[in-house]
């Protein structure tokens, strides 16, 4: 009982910007009234169905509208892309996009094309709305934080369920039977539209932000509350690949890189233990990186920590991503050289040309200097 319909859709900033309005703001979330408490008026662009005498079927709406009477939608149609008023010709595209013309004057010129006026409702059948070209006028009254229109969608051509019945039951247009079946047709089409949107809800790129934590549980992401929206989308999108890396060094590195934006240095026991003989150097490396094969060190540049609150999060991520029974130490590098500690040339320390100290009251010696075996402050 389904016949494929066409439609025009406004559901993004780009689509709303094809129209023009007064005291209306176009945001990422949709249409909202401007500041000042005055009524906002918005005209969509011209919609061309491509066929004369097109019967427009239904208008579907989505948004945050606490009181339906605060939003009024007028529907206009025309068989021509121009309008003749008192001997003057107005191109509809230019007329609708003209921001210099007062709203009252524009409404007066377009009055002859007005077909129906509706208050806000999620979906409404259109009656007697016929014409090749169509446009909408939206009037919003209320505070900016209260109203928001996220989606407007108008369907054509007209498709009543009575068209599938024997001719005896078809009767006249807009008959009681057609209106009665229209109740169930609307319920069916709304359910069908939701089913069509389901694949987008399970896609990491198109799923609403409020569903990302729920989706992350499907892919086994631990501690989803630690991640931002963009990071959660990355984890869900690469969930299958990351699942194959669980319990490995690469898995830990990927998670820590995603959270900090910096790829850490991970030093494992096998990378140095079998090349260093017993002695003072080996004791030093064991203190820095761990004393057995179940130990590893994760080393970050100092710029990773924006504040001290980030350190517990890093510790939790390391705990979640490290291989089983591994003891992992986290080291945040400081931009200084310390003997027998984590100092790496080109990472947190650099060789520069020698220069003398200037005792001018503005410079100071941040570290102790050793010269010719004598300790000088």
For the segment 281-319, what is each residue's pLDDT rounded down to a tens digit?
888 888 888 888 888 889 888 777 666 677 888 888 888
* pLDDT above 50 for 370: no
In the 3-class helix/strand/coil scheme, how is the chain assigned residue by residue? CCCCCEEEEECCHHHHCCCEEECEEEECCEEEECCCCCCEEEECCCEECCCCCCECCEEEEEEECCCHHHEEEEEEEECCCEEEECCEEEEHHHHHHCCCCCHHHHHHHHHHHEEEEEECCCEEECCCCECCEEEEEEEECCCCCCCEEEEEEEEECCCCHHHHCCHHHHCCCCCHHHHHHHHHHHHHHHHHHHHHHHHHHCCCCCCCHHHHHHHHHHCCCCCHHHCCHHHHHHHHHCHHHHHCCCCCHHHHHHHHHHHHCCCCEEEEHHHCCCCCCCCHHHHHHHHHHCCCCCEEEEEECHHHCCCCCHHHHHHHHHHHHCCCCCEEEEEECCCCCCCCCCCCECCCECCCCCCCCCCCCCCCCCCCEEECCEEEC
pTM: 0.60
The pLDDT tens digits of the residues spanning 243-253 come to 888 888 899 99
- Reported as a single tens digit per residue, the pLDDT across 108-117 is 999 999 999 9
CATH no., domain 6-159: 2.60.120
Task: Quote the percentage of the chain above a pLDDT of 70.
Answer: 87
Mean pLDDT: which of 50-64, 171-185, 312-326 is highest? 50-64
Residues of the chain with CATH 2.60.120: 6-159
Task: Average the pLDDT over 180-198 and give the result.
Answer: 85
């Amino acid at each position: 009982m389904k016949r494929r319909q066409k439609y025009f859709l406004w559901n993004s900033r780009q689509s709303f910007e094809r129209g023009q309005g007064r005291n209306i703001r176009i945001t990422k979330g949709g249409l909202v009234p401007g500041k000042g408490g005055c009524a906002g008026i918005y005209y969509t662009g011209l919609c061309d169905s491509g066929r004369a005498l097109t019967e427009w079927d239904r208008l579907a709406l989505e948004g945050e509208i606490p009181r339906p009477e605060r939003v009024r939608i007028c529907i206009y149609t025309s068989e021509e892309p121009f309008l003749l008023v008192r001997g003057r010709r107005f191109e509809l595209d230019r007329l609708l996009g003209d921001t210099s013309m007062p709203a009252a004057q524009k409404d007066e010129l377009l009055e002859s094309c007005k077909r129906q006026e509706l208050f806000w409702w999620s979906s409404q059948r259109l009656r007697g709305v016929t014409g090749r070209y169509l446009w909408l006028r939206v009037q919003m009254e209320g505070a900016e934080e209260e109203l928001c229109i996220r989606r407007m969608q108008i369907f054509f051509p007209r498709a009543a369920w009575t068209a599938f019945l024997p001719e005896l039951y078809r009767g006249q247009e807009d008959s009681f039977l057609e209106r009665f079946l229209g109740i169930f047709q609307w319920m069916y089409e709304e359910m069908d539209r939701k089913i069509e949107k389901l694949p987008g809800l399970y896609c990491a790129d198109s799923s609403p932000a409020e569903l990302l934590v729920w989706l992350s549980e499907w892919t086994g992401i631990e501690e989803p509350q630690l991640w931002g929206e963009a990071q959660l989308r990355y984890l869900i999108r690469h969930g299958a690949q990351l699942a194959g890396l669980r319990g490995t060094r690469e898995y830990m590195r990927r998670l820590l890189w995603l959270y900090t934006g910096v790829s850490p240095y991970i030093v494992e026991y096998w990378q140095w233990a079998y090349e260093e003989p017993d002695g003072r150097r080996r004791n030093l490396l064991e203190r820095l990186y761990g004393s057995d094969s179940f130990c590893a060190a994760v080393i970050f540049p100092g710029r990773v920590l924006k504040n001290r609150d980030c350190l517990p999060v890093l510790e939790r991520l390391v705990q979640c991503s490290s291989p089983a029974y591994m003891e992992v130490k986290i080291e945040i590098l400081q931009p200084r050289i310390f003997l027998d500690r984590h100092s790496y040339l080109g990472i947190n320390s650099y060789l520069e040309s020698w220069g003398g100290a200037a005792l001018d009251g503005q410079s100071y010696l941040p570290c102790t200097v050793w010269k010719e075996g004598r300790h000088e402050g």
